[in-house]
Amino acid sequence: MNSLTIFEFDKVVEAKAGAVGLAVPRRVFAWLDMQSLRNDDDAPGWLKPTHLSGQRAIQVTSYVGVIRAPCGFQIEVLPKTGRNTSPDEARALLIEMLKCLAGFRHIKTANADLVAERMPLLEVFIQQFLLAVGSLVKRGLRSDYVARQDNLFALRGRLLVARQITQNLVRRDRFFTEHDEFSQDRAENRLIHTALRHVLTLCRSQESQRVARELSFVFSDVPPSVDVAQDIQRIRLDRGMGYYESALDWAKLILQGLSPISGMGSHHAPSLLFPMEAVFEAYVEKHLARQLRADFVLKAQASSQHLVAHDDQRWFRLKPDLLVKQKQTTRLVLDTKWKLLDAAKKNGREKYQLSQADFYQLYAYGHHYLDGTGDIVLIYPKTDTFTEPLPVFDFPKAIGMRLWVLPFCLTKRQLMLPASPAFDVAFIQDNSSKTRADNLNAVPA
């Protein structure tokens, strides 16, 4: 077996006699160990060394996706909320969540040819890229005028006098010229061709390899990119080239490491990894806006306030994930946390598994964005152990401010709201979760 599926914060050990737990081959474990021990600026935050039952182990952190070792062995990491479901369900939900990230808006899981929930994540993205390129090819590759310099037998374009003298002084049958040529050799086509060739080294599916080879043949007259970064800067989607956008976005992601995190090490071993905090925040932001009433708006990543002023300077910017605003007035301050709570642990020692630091953070947000009066909200994923809003938290020294801890249902794509006037005013409230879900489904995606 050349792959392994695990969940966030799982530990893997080296496959050997007496090994306990999730095991990987020796060379894969050695590579993971080397990655986890790096202390340079590019050291991966998605791995850390640890122990399991007296064995050395490597633990993944709050990143999901695919870790690909130089030998080709793949470790698929799924969200921790999927432990109580099947890997197929967890993978399908993750793909839906990834659609909310800016660079992955082109994912189309409704396509009949894509059975995403049963495909490894890397194959899902490769197939999405191939589908986008296939659609582009059906509409035709675009050409453009490209400046060429060549030593020709006939004068064409502009004669380059200096080059003519140095190269053709004794060859009067040649002309060193610069001319424009209408060609498919443009940056957009070079990037897509290069990405197709790169995909051939990554994908395992025979069908994907076949499609990639067929599409590469269409680009046979286009040279691969020799400077990807420079060609990305040269991208110019002229009028009528909107159909290039999806394929180019996928090509850039593939050529730049496939994701916000790229684990390379001393060998090229691209990893497809995403910080779940960012994925969850983007998912909540997209779907929470649909629950708001018409005169309320959701603002993301506010950063207008600072914690302290010092010597005419403002320090320590306060950046809540989300604000609910009505015209120019902030009504609610919300922050998302990708952590698992347990409503049964209602005691002074375990505190529902809440973090004191998160409360301090929201306390500061409330004072600066709500002037110490109003409602602040912590949003966590809904799980079997956290299905309803927790009782409200009051601050003894800030009587006008209250903190709510609310679950966000990943499958229904909605925030579970408490019975409170602050939420009744801003959100579409209904005691029937079915009616509220119908309201959400009525809003175009």
Among 54-63, 155-164, 400-409, the range scoring the smallest mean pLDDT is 155-164
What is the structure's pLDDT at 25? 92
What is the structure's pLDDT at 107? 65
110 pLDDT more than 60: no
Backbone angles phi, psi at 81, to 5 degrees: -70, -10
Asked whether residue 235 is domain-assigned, the answer is yes
Asked whether residue 287 is domain-assigned, the answer is no
State the total domains in the chain: 3
End of a domain among 214, 248, 275? 275
End of a domain among 221, 240, 275? 275
Asked whether residue 286 is domain-assigned, the answer is no
Compute CA distances 312 → 70, 318, 391, whole Å: 52, 17, 41
Domain that holds residue 243: 3-140+187-275
Same domain, residue pair 350 and 383 = yes
Taking residues 192-202, report their average pLDDT.
90
Same domain, residue pair 16 and 155 = no
What is the structure's pLDDT at 444? 39
330 pLDDT more than 80: yes
What is the structure's pLDDT at 240? 84
Per-residue pLDDT band for 414 (boundaries 50, 70, 90) equals very high
Asked whether residue 282 is domain-assigned, the answer is no
Residue-averaged pLDDT of the chain? 84
Taking residues 395-424, report their average pLDDT.
93
What is the structure's pLDDT at 371? 92
Among 20-34, 128-142, 377-391, 425-439, the range scoring the smallest mean pLDDT is 425-439
Q: Which residue has the higher pLDDT, 330 or 36?
A: 330
Same domain, residue pair 168 and 244 = no
278 pLDDT more than 80: yes
Asked whether residue 281 is domain-assigned, the answer is no
Same domain, residue pair 64 and 177 = no
What is the structure's pLDDT at 266? 36
350-376 pLDDT, tens per residue?
A: 999 999 999 999 999 999 999 999 999
What is the structure's pLDDT at 152? 73
End of a domain among 275, 310, 340? 275
42-79 pLDDT, tens per residue?
A: 555 788 899 998 889 999 998 888 888 888 888 989 99
Same domain, residue pair 155 and 261 = no
How far is the C-alpha of 204 from the C-alpha of 427, rounded, in Å?
46
Same domain, residue pair 299 and 354 = yes
Same domain, residue pair 246 and 323 = no
Residue where the block lists tokens 């799982």? 10
Asked whether residue 202 is domain-assigned, the answer is yes
Same domain, residue pair 107 and 166 = no
Q: Which residue has the higher pLDDT, 259 or 34?
A: 34
Per-residue pLDDT band for 431 (boundaries 50, 70, 90) equals very low
2-38 pLDDT, tens per residue?
A: 889 999 999 999 988 778 889 999 999 999 998 888 7
Taking residues 272-293, report their average pLDDT.
91
Asked whether the whole model's pTM tops 0.75, one would answer yes
Taking residues 202-225, report their average pLDDT.
90
Same domain, residue pair 311 and 416 = yes
User: How crowded is residue 68: how many other Cβ atoms within 10 Å of its Cβ?
Assistant: 22
Residue where the block lists tokens 């960012």? 278
DSSP track, 344-365: T--STTTGGG--HHHHHHHHHH
What is the structure's pLDDT at 373? 93
What is the structure's pLDDT at 43? 54
How far is the C-alpha of 193 from the C-alpha of 224, rounded, in Å?
6
Same domain, residue pair 199 and 348 = no
Asked whether residue 364 is domain-assigned, the answer is yes
74-100 pLDDT, tens per residue?
A: 898 999 999 988 888 898 899 889 888
Asked whether residue 395 is domain-assigned, the answer is yes
Per-residue pLDDT band for 112 (boundaries 50, 70, 90) equals very low
Among 52-56, 390-394, 415-419, the range scoring the smallest mean pLDDT is 52-56
Same domain, residue pair 125 and 166 = no
What is the structure's pLDDT at 436? 41
Same domain, residue pair 390 and 425 = yes
Are the C-beta atoms of 381 and 94 separated by less than 8 Å? no
By CB atoms closer than 10 A (0-12, 13-18, 19+), residue 329 is: exposed
